[in-house]
Amino acid sequence: MRALRPVRGTKDLLPEESRRHRHVVDTAWRVAECYGFREIGVPIFEFTEVFRRTLGETSDVVTKEMYSFTDRGGDEITLRPEATAGIVRALISGGLAQDLPLKLFTSGPMFRYERPQKGRLRQFHQIDVELLGVPEPLGDVEVIAVGARILDALGLLGRTTLELNTLGDGESRRRYREALVGYLGARLDRLSEDSRARLERNPLRVLDSKDERDREVVREAPLYTEYLNEGSRAFFDTVKAGLESIGIAYTVNARLVRGLDYYCHTAFEFTTTYLGAQGAVMAGGRYDGLSETMGGPPVPGVGWAAGVERLAMLIDALEAPARPITVVPVGAAAEARALVIAEELRREGHSVELAYRGNLSKRLKRADKVNARLAVLIGEDELSRGVATVRDLDSGAQTEVALASLGERVRERG
């Protein structure tokens, strides 16, 4: 019988990699809490319409990458490809608009059907930060700041570059769209088939194309900054000044855009050169029109998402976990007591491994395998005298310790 394997584009998080993932998520959550963010959990699947409305009918995610199906009740369901849409849906359906502003953090698996490659899987994991109900540029600065501090806490800020751009307000966007359509329309024969189809519905997405033909055309396209009105320039200047005031370096990337109409003002990405083609590790922007697109009230928003897999790949070796204590019983009576001793030590905060089987030699080999620092040896003789033998597995030195004071003596030995 053929052995079962994971589905293409998925992978098991074996213990060491799982520890790296947990380190990324826990670090992010700890930093986000310092900024006043609260955790929110949203379902892994939603009605498909949630993502059609937010990601756009013509986007690659909707047309090519979503895991969608009809459930037994006849509803169209989609595994979430990102977190923002679910969070804004929760804001609307949960009646949270009365609690604005809201600072929300979430993490978990996302799903996209795309070609698996380094740092990109079909089931992947993200951390996500959203600030809802704050229209001022200070909100953009704070959301970028929490991202930078998370990267710094992970030891990765020096390996990334913050790329920043502005999409301006609705008026600026309309002016730029008209200019871009005029420029691209005059070069229609040089565009890819996908970009020719996008030109009418969502021309800004042509700027994101990875097709070399499109990239060549886009290289000389008009820049967004040339079409900003005074208010949009002032907003962007305030964001840049805010970042500078708190020591967050950035570079302006005039080609960094977001294709959907509800995006406005700040767009940003933290990128790296350490992961090959998969350069973006954290990306976000302002989306003041998203709630209305989903049928909700006007609620300004700004946020970002970061790939846990990519961040975990960038992290240097983690500090080794605390070395455990191994309780090694010899004989049936000692095995029964060893279970009690192990639980008592765990209740006092020690990491404890219980040697389950084999003679003394085999059980001590198991202690070496788990890199234990101490072995608590218990036999019938020790039990009769109310003591245990505590052996330092580095030096080999050992001493007898009264069972009544075992926890205290172990704690003294570090």
> Residue 98 sits in a domain of what CATH number?
3.30.930.10
pLDDT of residue 146: 98
Compute the CA torsion angle 249, 252, 255, 259 (nearest 10 deg).
Answer: 70
Domain co-membership, 56 together with 121: yes
pLDDT of residue 287: 95
Q: Give the model confidence (pLDDT) of 276-305 as tens digits.
A: 766 899 999 999 989 999 999 999 999 999
Domain co-membership, 140 together with 76: yes
pLDDT of residue 257: 85
22 inside domain: yes
Q: Is pLDDT of 69 > 80?
A: yes
Domain co-membership, 293 together with 346: no
pLDDT of residue 271: 95
Domain co-membership, 350 together with 280: no
**Exposed/middle/buried for residue 31 (C-beta within 10 Å: 0-12, 13-18, 19+):** buried
User: Of 318 and 311, which is predicted with more confidence?
Assistant: 311
pLDDT of residue 331: 81
Give CA–CA dist 41/128, Å, rounded: 11
User: Of 134 and 15, which is predicted with more confidence?
Assistant: 134
Return the minimum-mean-pLDDT range out of 35-44, 137-146, 161-170, 212-221.
212-221
91 inside domain: yes
215 inside domain: no
Q: Is pLDDT of 244 > 90?
A: yes
Domain co-membership, 251 together with 377: no
For the chain, the C-alpha Rg in angstroms (whole number) is 28
255 inside domain: yes
Q: Give the model confidence (pLDDT) of 176-214 as tens digits.
A: 989 999 998 888 889 888 888 888 777 888 887 778 888
pLDDT of residue 368: 86
* DSSP label at residue 223: P
Six-digit token pair at 102? 């809201």
**CATH code, domain carrying 351:** 3.40.50.800
**Exposed/middle/buried for residue 95 (C-beta within 10 Å: 0-12, 13-18, 19+):** exposed
Q: Are 13 and 21 in contact (CB under 8 A)?
A: yes
Q: Is pLDDT of 414 > 70?
A: no
User: Over pLDDT 70: what percentage of the chain?
Assistant: 98
40 inside domain: yes
339 inside domain: yes
pLDDT of residue 277: 67
How many domains does the chain fold into?
A: 2
184 inside domain: no
Distances (CA, A) of 233 to 131, 172, 177: 22, 10, 17
pLDDT of residue 57: 66
Give CA–CA dist 341/284, Å, rounded: 51
Q: Are 147 and 282 in contact (CB under 8 A)?
A: yes
Q: Among the three residues 314, 342, 366, which one is the final residue of a domain in this structure?
A: 314
Q: Give the model confidence (pLDDT) of 141-182 as tens digits.
A: 999 999 999 999 999 999 999 999 999 998 998 999 899 999
- What's the start-to-end Cα distance of the chain, in Å? 50
Residues 6+ apart with CB under 8 A from 168: 176, 224, 227, 228, 229, 232, 235, 236, 264, 265
Q: Is pLDDT of 383 > 70?
A: yes
pLDDT of residue 278: 62
- N residues, the chain: 414
The chain-wide mean pLDDT, for the chain, equals 90
Domain residue limits at 124: 15-169+229-314
pLDDT of residue 175: 92
Three-state secondary-structure class, residue 315: coil
Q: Among the three residues 314, 334, 365, which one is the final residue of a domain in this structure?
A: 314
Domain co-membership, 139 together with 97: yes
Return the minimum-mean-pLDDT range out of 8-22, 265-279, 304-318.
265-279
Domain co-membership, 139 together with 109: yes
- Comparing C-alpha atoms, which of 167, 207, 173, 174 is closest to residue 191? 207
Q: Give the model confidence (pLDDT) of 82-124 as tens digits.
A: 999 999 999 999 999 889 999 999 999 999 998 877 777 999 9
Domain co-membership, 269 together with 346: no
- Comparing C-alpha atoms, which of 57, 60, 104 is closest to residue 83? 104
202 inside domain: no
Domain co-membership, 157 together with 284: yes
Q: Are 126 and 306 in contact (CB under 8 A)?
A: yes
Domain co-membership, 270 together with 152: yes
Cα-Cα-Cα-Cα dihedral sign, residues 235, 240, 243, 245: negative
Domain co-membership, 116 together with 139: yes
Domain co-membership, 50 together with 160: yes
Q: Among the three residues 314, 346, 364, which one is the final residue of a domain in this structure?
A: 314
- Comparing C-alpha atoms, which of 281, 250, 305, 246 is closest to residue 154? 281
